[in-house]
Amino acid sequence: MPDLLSPNIQQELNLKKLELSALLEITQAINDNLPESALYKIYRFTLLAQLQISRLVLFVHDEEWDCKVCSGTEQDFTKQELPENILKLKEITYTAKLNVEKMWRAFEIVIPILHNGKVLAFVMIGKIQPYYTNMEALSFVQTVSNIMLVAIENHRMARQRLEQEAIRREIEIAREVQTMLFPKYLPNDKDVTIHASYIPHSSIGGDYYDFIEIDQDQFLFCVADVSGKGVPASLLMSNFQAGLRTILRQNTDLNTVVSELNNLIYRNAIAEKFITTFLAVYNRKTRELCYVNAGHNSPILLYEDNSHRLLNEGCTMLGVFDVLPFMSVTKVHIPPHATLVCYTDGLTEVFDEDETEFGIEGTIDFLQRNRFLSSRMLHLQLLREINLYNEEAKFNDDITLLSCRFK
């Protein structure tokens, strides 16, 4: 039976068959959840083979403009930047109407790919079949490109959600680990009252405090700060705590304890991580406090007459040198009714609107004015004080407070 279709209708029918085949090819690739690189290859094959387009480049905006497909050209467009005249386009445009360099005239048509009013990409085609001068046919190229690019964008967003969920779970685990590090019990007896407060700057902080009973007469307490924040800081701090408790079971001499901790941190620290810490052992019977300050903020020992002493002797921060270059263990006699306040730098490094630091002087002044408050109220009021120091300020670091009242 003779073909009753006119040549134009037959050509249009053939074009629709090609378009349908191209659409099925792209849709199948998307449904198979193929990686981006595979999708771009299938897209390239579909336009070149199925739609019989011989020259093709695809520029996609992924933080910056990047050429994802380049085929049928002598010029390597992966190394070229899109001209401003093309970047401004929002409609299908013939390059003959654009003021662009000669190399861009290898393409006859520029097709912007838009989604929700935003330009996702530019497709440029050249050496096209005569029927592609038909705007309806060009719109199909635009549609196929849009389907693929939106699918790629959706895949990317889905991956980001999965990655964020994995990170969120890691943070939850690290936060649980960090919470477990803090002591469940702090003494309040006839000899001492120890109270601690911890305010993390982010989900996971790098601060740590501890209290460890050594024997009936002696206990150790400490405050520490890891450089940096997040999961690495939390993991290093858990390493520090495990090491401290293990070492204390074998030796309570602070010189040995600190040297062994330094060796542990030096071997296990990631990148340029280090720890500053203040460790002290108190003897209830002799009222003697032995301490080492390893590059940490100087704790304030406030006496009953409101005079004070800064406990700043010891060694450098831990984890910087394989062997500490210097070390001293200092002994201090603690008279009745003295208070020792240990803290991390998040407490003192708060600035007012004139960029004046609250600092150690502001902390000492506060303690002298409020020494008769209970430990809990002392902490609450001190934190309130630094908030009031600049109501616009936000804490830039974790804050840890540990106070020890000697009776």
List the CATH number of the domain containing 151.
3.30.450.40
Q: Judge whether 92 lies within some domain.
A: yes
CA 19/CA 358 separation, integer angstroms: 70
Total domain count, the chain? 2
Looking at the structure, tell me whether residues 275 and 127 fall in a common domain.
no
Q: Judge whether 165 lies within some domain.
A: no
Contact 47, 129 (CB under 8 A): no
Write out the two tokens for 337.
């009714």
Q: Judge whether 174 lies within some domain.
A: no
Name the residue with tokens 């469940």. 184
Q: Judge whether 319 lies within some domain.
A: yes
Q: How would residue 212 be classed by pLDDT, with cut points 50, 70 and 90?
A: very high
Looking at the structure, tell me whether residues 31 and 145 fall in a common domain.
yes
CA 150/CA 241 separation, integer angstroms: 49
CA 5/CA 69 separation, integer angstroms: 37
Q: What is the mean pLDDT of residues 354-382?
A: 88
Mean pLDDT of the chain: 82
Looking at the structure, tell me whether residues 232 and 355 fall in a common domain.
yes
- Is the pLDDT confidence value at 245 over 60? yes
- Is the pLDDT confidence value at 404 over 90? yes
Residue 119: what residue type?
V
What CATH number does residue 214 fall under?
3.60.40.10
Question: Residue 206 — left, alpha, or beta (φ > 0 → left; ψ -120 to 50 → alpha)?
Answer: alpha
Looking at the structure, tell me whether residues 324 and 358 fall in a common domain.
yes
Report pTM: 0.62
Looking at the structure, tell me whether residues 192 and 78 fall in a common domain.
no
Q: Judge whether 217 lies within some domain.
A: yes
Task: Name the DSSP letter for residue 282.
Answer: E
Contact 112, 91 (CB under 8 A): yes
CA 54/CA 64 separation, integer angstroms: 26
Looking at the structure, tell me whether residues 340 and 372 fall in a common domain.
yes
Range(s) of the domain holding residue 72: 7-160
Looking at the structure, tell me whether residues 146 and 197 fall in a common domain.
no
| Boundary (domain end) residue, out of 130, 160, 190 | 160
Looking at the structure, tell me whether residues 347 and 214 fall in a common domain.
yes
Each residue's pLDDT tens digit, 264-291? 988 876 666 789 999 999 999 999 999 9
- Is the pLDDT confidence value at 392 over 60? no
CA 207/CA 277 separation, integer angstroms: 10
Q: How would residue 191 be classed by pLDDT, with cut points 50, 70 and 90?
A: very high
Looking at the structure, tell me whether residues 258 and 144 fall in a common domain.
no
CA 66/CA 394 separation, integer angstroms: 39
